[in-house]
């Protein structure tokens, strides 16, 4: 049986969700490809061993063919600089395909500010116009210093990166994360939000239950999409901690402060054991 390296989901004719297979890396991140009239935008390049380029080229070529075009400039941006979202950067930068000339925006502060036209980080909202399709960029540091959210005015999709998704929300800088959550709520006020889409799924379809860290095979995972209500629930959870970060499980996601207590030695050992077991049985899911 052949399992594709990337799953391509056509959300609509100009919006594609790509997901890396768990068999290449347990992080199995989602990345996003938006087409406007003049340009296309790719958010993130995948995790380790992703080999994104063939799937990316195939998807862009299919879109070009359908739209009777020969080329479209592709801008590559990032949700944040963590390895599981930038691991494919070098391979994407090495593409020299006349059908998709690439503008690469590194996951760095100055480049990000310049590209979206942001003067004051993190309080300004930036924009990029793909041609009949404006994408807003909201800086949301907290999970990482350089986390951003993207809002597509055409589909009302809000891409929240690693800051809100059905799984463990690792919080590196608690005050920044809380302030970013408040700004993101403010930004969404009065706007339609069709779905909040993040970078991972670690939650199972059973309320409050997540898969162990490092899980490859998730037959009963939570759906990717969250509503704006999740953002309000996150706000409430953070407020309830009164400035003292702690782990908290909610129905559709959990809050995981990163610090000394990020993973105990025992949890780390469990993670390694679980990871090895899965690798050993990767192709065999018959009950033992």
Phi first, then psi, for residue 284 (nearest 5°) are: -130, 105
Binding window for Zn ion (CB under 5 A); candidates: 58-66, 67-75, 154-162, 222-230: 154-162
In the complex with Zn ion, the residue whose CB is nearer, 144 or 178, is 144
Q: Is 28 in the site for Zn ion (CB under 5 A)?
A: no
In the complex with Zn ion, the residue whose CB is nearer, 53 or 258, is 258
Q: Which of 82, 133, 222, 228 binds Zn ion (CB under 5 A)?
A: 82
Q: Is 84 in the site for Zn ion (CB under 5 A)?
A: yes
Select from 44, 244, 226, 68 the least CA-distant residue to 148.
44
CA-to-CA dists, residue 157 to 111, 149, 162, 182, 201, angstroms: 24, 10, 15, 18, 17
Select from 216, 165, 162 the least CA-distant residue to 24.
216
Binding window for Zn ion (CB under 5 A); candidates: 8-16, 106-114, 175-183, 198-206: 198-206
Phi-psi region of 43 (alpha: psi -120 to 50; beta: other; left: phi over 0): beta
Binding window for Zn ion (CB under 5 A); candidates: 30-38, 110-118, 199-207, 254-262: 199-207
Q: In what order do the strands lie in the sheet with 126-129?
A: 126-129, 134-139, 148-152, 157-161, 195-198
Q: Is 202 in the site for Zn ion (CB under 5 A)?
A: no
In the complex with Zn ion, the residue whose CB is nearer, 99 or 258, is 258
Positions that interact with Zn ion (CB under 5 A)? 82, 84, 162, 199
């Amino acid at each position: 049986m052949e399992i594709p390296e990337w799953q391509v989901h056509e959300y609509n004719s100009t919006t594609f969700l790509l997901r890396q297979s768990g068999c290449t890396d347990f992080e199995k991140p989602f990345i996003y490809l938006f087409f406007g009239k003049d340009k296309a935008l790719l958010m993130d390049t995948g995790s380790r061993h992703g080999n994104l380029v063939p799937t990316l080229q195939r998807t862009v070529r299919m879109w070009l063919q359908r739209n009777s075009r020969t080329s479209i400039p592709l801008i590559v941006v990032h949700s944040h600089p963590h390895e599981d979202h930038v691991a494919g950067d070098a391979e994407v930068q090495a593409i020299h395909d006349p059908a998709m000339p690439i503008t690469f925006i590194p996951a760095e502060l100055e480049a990000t500010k310049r590209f979206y036209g942001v003067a004051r980080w993190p309080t300004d909202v930036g924009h990029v116009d793909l041609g009949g399709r404006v994408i807003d960029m909201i800086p949301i540091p907290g999970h990482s210093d350089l986390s951003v959210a993207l809002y597509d005015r055409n589909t009302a999709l809000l891409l929240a990166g690693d800051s809100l998704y059905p799984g463990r929300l690792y919080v590196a800088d608690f005050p920044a994360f809380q302030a970013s959550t408040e700004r993101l709520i403010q930004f969404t006020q009065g706007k339609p939000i069709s779905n909040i889409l993040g970078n991972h799924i670690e939650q199972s379809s059973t309320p409050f239950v997540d898969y162990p860290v490092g899980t490859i095979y998730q037959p009963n995972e939570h759906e990717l999409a969250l509503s704006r209500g999740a953002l309000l629930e996150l706000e409430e959870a953070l407020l309830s901690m009164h400035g003292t970060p702690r782990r908290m499980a909610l129905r559709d996601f959990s809050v995981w402060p990163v610090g000394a207590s990020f993973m105990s030695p025992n949890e780390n050992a469990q993670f390694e054991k679980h990871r090895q077991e899965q690798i050993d049985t990767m192709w065999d899911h018959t009950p033992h």
